[in-house]
Each structure stands twice: as structure tokens, then as C-alpha cells.
Amino acid sequence: MNQKISKGLLETKSVYLNIRDPFIFPSGRISPVYVDCRRLISYPNIRDEVVAELVRIATDKIGLDQTDVVAGGTTGGIPYATFLAQAINKPLIYVQKSPSGSGSSRQITGVIEKGQKVILVEDVTADGVSVLRFKGGIEIAGGRLTHCLCVFEYRSDKFAMQDARETLSKQGIVLHSLITWDDILDMAREENYFTRDEYEQVLSFLKNPNHWWQNLSR
């Protein structure tokens, strides 16, 4: 399944690469690549593959008896949370990273009861910071978040890049991802999606994500 989804991301041009004008993430990290899982909602075939895998994880790894509510993180996680909630017949909410500007301290849209167990759905998880912000909003509303599902995780087991997983584990959250950088790179090499230099730069980024740009600039 991860091969199908990885190939789908590449075929739908949802993986952007720009070495000379790289992407700057909210955390300040500079990256030569950006993965936009939001594009996949416009492609029914690959979208169905993603939803099927989300359902499998929610059912087999987390357990429907451990799930009272499905939450979508704004904004990229909302469509996937909607698909999942519909498929497993669970209530849906969505959660903002911070309270709205209307004077309310609530970050939640929808209905959640005190003590309910929540699965958070994200499109992409990089360092886990956004998930922790969503966790705060869910807890203020009375819910309990111990599992997060994401389509793409900025993780590479080959290069010991596990920022989000480690951060969330310390806060009692289990992260479940459909695909990682290892999956994308294996498929990109198989399909010749990157040039040799582009592939090497992505590898260089994964080996040293916090200082990749400094090394390139020398």
C-alpha cells in the first residue's frame, strides 16, 4: 500500500523539489523538498487508497472501541478526517492550532464530550509541534488524544530522522503514518523522478536536516 501511495504522490506532482529556492517551514527548517498531500483529494483513485489505509490503521492498530471521535487538524487534515469518520461511522470535529479570533477560547468546531477518546488526522507531520497544539485544544474541550494518523511523516529510518515520532511519544501520543521519506525516495529512484543531483541533495537534507542549507551555501 505504501508503494501505491508513494507513486501516487509522485504521479500527481505532489512532491515539489527546488534546491536553489528551497522551502521554509514554520519551524524555520529549510528544505529542498515539499510534500503536498492536500492535492491527493482531487484524484479519486489514490484518494481511495489513502482512505482505505487510514481505515485499516484505525480499525486494526488503534481499535474502533478506542475511538469516540475523529478530529481533523486545520486545514490539511480535515478532508482525510472527514473521509475516515464517514467510513468508520464516528463523530467528526475539526481543531485549530490556536483559538479563533471571535473572543472564544475554543479551538474545536463540532461536538465533543468530556472524556471522549479522539483520533487526530493530519495530512503531513514534520516535527510534531502542530499536533501538540491540536492536542491542547482537544484537551481544553475535554477530549483525550493518544493517537495521531497522518498521510505523510517527515521520517527516515535510514537516516535516524524521527523528530515528530519522538516528540509525540514523550507526550503520550502514538503516531501512525502511511508513508515516510524512505518510501518516497525508494519510489522516486525506481521511477527516475529526480535527477542524480536532486536525489543526492534530498539525501543530504535527510542526513542533516537542520544544517542542509548551510552546507549547500558553502
Provide φ and ψ at 184, rounded to 5°: -60, -45
The predicted structure's pLDDT at residue 214 = 80
Taken in order 75, 35, 50, 40, the sign of the CA dihedral is positive
Confidence of residue 102 (pLDDT cuts 50, 70, 90): low
More confident residue, 208 or 168: 168
More confident residue, 93 or 2: 93
Burial of 63 (0-12, 13-18, 19+ CB in 10 A): exposed
Q: Return the CA Rg of the chain.
A: 18
Please give the average per-residue pLDDT across 137-161, as a whole number: 94
Expressed as residue numbers, the domain containing 81 is 2-217
What CATH number is given to the structural domain containing 16?
A: 3.40.50.2020
The predicted structure's pLDDT at residue 9 = 96
Contacts of 202 (CB under 8 A, 6+ apart): 17, 32, 33, 181, 185, 194
| Long-range CB contacts (within 8 A, 24+) of 20-27 | 22/213, 25/126, 26/129, 26/130, 27/126, 27/127, 27/129
Cα 23 from Cα 32, distance rounded (Å): 6
The predicted structure's pLDDT at residue 209 = 87
Residue 99 · residue 105 · CB < 8 Å: yes
Domain count, the chain: 1
Taking the whole predicted model, whether its pTM rises above 0.85 is answered as yes
Question: Does residue 175 register a pLDDT over 90?
Answer: yes
Question: Does residue 217 register a pLDDT over 60?
Answer: no
Q: For 31-70, how does the pLDDT look when each residue is reduced to its tens digit (9 = 90+)? A: 899 999 999 999 999 999 999 999 999 999 999 999 999 9
17-26, 114-123, 129-138, 200-209: segment of lowest average pLDDT: 17-26
Q: For 62-92, how does the pLDDT look when each residue is reduced to its tens digit (9 = 90+)? A: 999 999 999 999 999 999 999 999 999 999 9
Which grid cell is 179? Answer: 508513508
